[in-house]
Structure 1
Amino acid sequence: MDTDCLSTESGGCECYVDVPEADSIGCVEVLATVCSIVLMVLTLPISLFLCFKVVQEYERAVIFRLGRLRSGGARGPGVFFVLPCIDNYCKVDLRTVSFDVPPQEVLTRDSVTVSVDAVVYYRIRDPLNAVVQVANYSHSTRLLAATTLRNVLGTRNLSELLTEREAISHSMQVTLDEATDPWGVQVERVEIED
């Protein structure tokens, strides 16, 4: 436990005690784990195929036991073990993924309507945050890319869109990367197309 004491304006002292959060296992979790192990032993030859999972070199697995994130972080690459009925897992692909932002009708700063689309390249930097912090990181990144494209292009005039394509792409990449950072997503590159 850590204790921090601060002096107040009136000459007194305020103390704060940081108590670590208990990572205790409840009796329901113990009972469910024991039942799951007994079930696994009773169906031993078949249960081996259900309990051992393989994660490829480019993947990580985030494991939940009874809805709570298991300690130890993301698992992989290699073989990992899940208990039947009480463990769920989600595989996360760490490779760079690209997607097309559909053509967006944008009103530029000089009131010209243009249709612009883009390609976004991203990868998962932190598998735990990608699973826990956002419901669907891929869909959310796609929606955010479309709105960011409209917002960034709406602040420029037509001549800037035509001449400063690289600067606009970089600006969009930085904006997207900052917004997706809490999700564990890293936007590597954005390319604006005609």
Structure 2
Amino acid sequence: VVTHYERAVIFRLGRLLSSQAQGPGLIFVLPCLDRYRLVDLRTFTFDVPTQEVLTKDSVTVAVNAVVYYRIRDPVKAIVNVEDANRSTRLLGQTTLRNVLGTVSLDQLLTAREDIAALMQECLDSVTEAWGVKVERVEIKDVRLPIALQRAMAAEAEAAREATARVIAAEGEQHASVSLKIAAKEILEHPIAMQLRYLQTINNICSGKESTIIFPVFMEMLELFKYQKMGGNFLLDDESTEALGLKKSSTEDGMSSCFPDPNNQEDEDESLDGEC
């Protein structure tokens, strides 16, 4: 009786009885004349031991893999090869070395699926004559030398730093463009400068230290007429009175301004009261 996942290859007097395997189910064998071999049709797996491989760009790496295969033609697996399972295992080791010797380290790290497919194709082309079908190949682990790992880590770190510098430079460029636009807007709208001035004062006052600030408003600065004559600044009567200065005339008819003592005392008392 042959089970569902097996097939029987029958030889009669040393000759193959049929080109097709028998089973599953009940089979008839003549005693002393017939001899039969059972073949398992289920999928088998085996690990390819770790191989020290020299890649195309002369880098030594340690690689292992796993191979999935099954017997597709029981007659070929018995007649054409002594031990199909053992032969497939040995072929997997040599094929792994041969395939990895034709690829670079970069390809090995980034294109494992393509390399596995190439290895499967190479195995299948040989095992077809043995009645074996290689269903799948997977590369499990790739171990690099310690020195190479450190070099790759340093290269990756340098690439990340370069990317960060580029991003920072682009940010500074965008910021400078925004500042240029803001400066243009402030120049076109003087009230924006005053708002910015008040905002700066507010930010300064928000600190932990207690600081008394006497802001000078922009309107007061506009009272000055920056026209210097003989070491004196010429101010009109309205500006002189607003700034608390006293105006006097010289012998040559020129007018000069100096602080009014009476007004200065009033200001000092006012400041003392505020402090």
Equivalent runs, 1:32-47 vs 2, <5 Å: none
CA shift, 1:92, in A, is 0.6
Gaps of 5+ in 2: 142-275
Where does residue 157 of structure 2 map in the other structure? Answer: none
Consecutive aligned runs of 4 or more in structure 1 exceeding 2 Å deviation: none
TM-score (ref. length: structure 2): 0.50
Check if 1:179 corresponds to 2:145: no
Check if 1:151 corresponds to 2:98: yes
Which among 66, 73, 76 is matched to residue 119 of structure 1? 66
TM-score (ref. length: structure 1): 0.71
Which among 39, 42, 54 is matched to residue 95 of structure 1? 42
| Partner Cα separation in structure 1 for residue 92 and residue 125 of structure 2 | 12
| Partner Cα separation in structure 2 for residue 94 and residue 114 of structure 1 | 35
Where does residue 137 of structure 1 map in the other structure? Answer: 84
Which among 84, 97, 109 is matched to residue 162 of structure 1? 109
Flag the 1:187–1:72 CA change in 2: closer, same or farther, 3 A. closer
Gaps of 5+ in 1: 1-53
| Partner Cα separation in structure 2 for residue 86 and residue 149 of structure 1 | 44
Flag the 1:168–1:94 CA change in 2: closer, same or farther, 3 A. same
Where does residue 74 of structure 1 map in the other structure? Answer: 21
CA shift, 1:81, in A, is 1.7
CA shift, 1:71, in A, is 2.2
| Partner Cα separation in structure 1 for residue 58 and residue 92 of structure 2 | 22
CA shift, 1:84, in A, is 1.9
Larger strand proportion, structure 1 or 2? 1
- 1:139-169 Cα distance to aligned partner (Å, 9 max, x none): 1111111110000001111111110100000
- 1:75-96 Cα distance to aligned partner (Å, 9 max, x none): 0000112122222111111111
Matched letter for residue 149 of structure 1: L
- 1:38-59 Cα distance to aligned partner (Å, 9 max, x none): xxxxxxxxxxxxxxxx111111
| Partner Cα separation in structure 2 for residue 71 and residue 142 of structure 1 | 28
| Partner Cα separation in structure 2 for residue 167 and residue 70 of structure 1 | 43
Matched letter for residue 85 of structure 1: C
**Which structure would you say has the larger RCO, counting Cα contacts within 8 Å and 6 or more residues apart?**
1
Give the % identical residues: 67
| Partner Cα separation in structure 2 for residue 79 and residue 104 of structure 1 | 45
| Partner Cα separation in structure 2 for residue 72 and residue 105 of structure 1 | 42
* Matched position secondary structure for 1:79: coil
* Structure 1 vs Structure 2 CA RMSD: 1.0
Matched letter for residue 108 of structure 1: T
* Matched position secondary structure for 1:80: coil
Matched letter for residue 13 of structure 2: L
> 2:19, 2:75 within 8 Å by CA — same for their partners in 1?
no
> 2:66, 2:139 within 8 Å by CA — same for their partners in 1?
yes
Larger helix proportion, structure 1 or 2? 2
Q: Compare CA radii of gyration and give the structure with the larger one.
A: 2
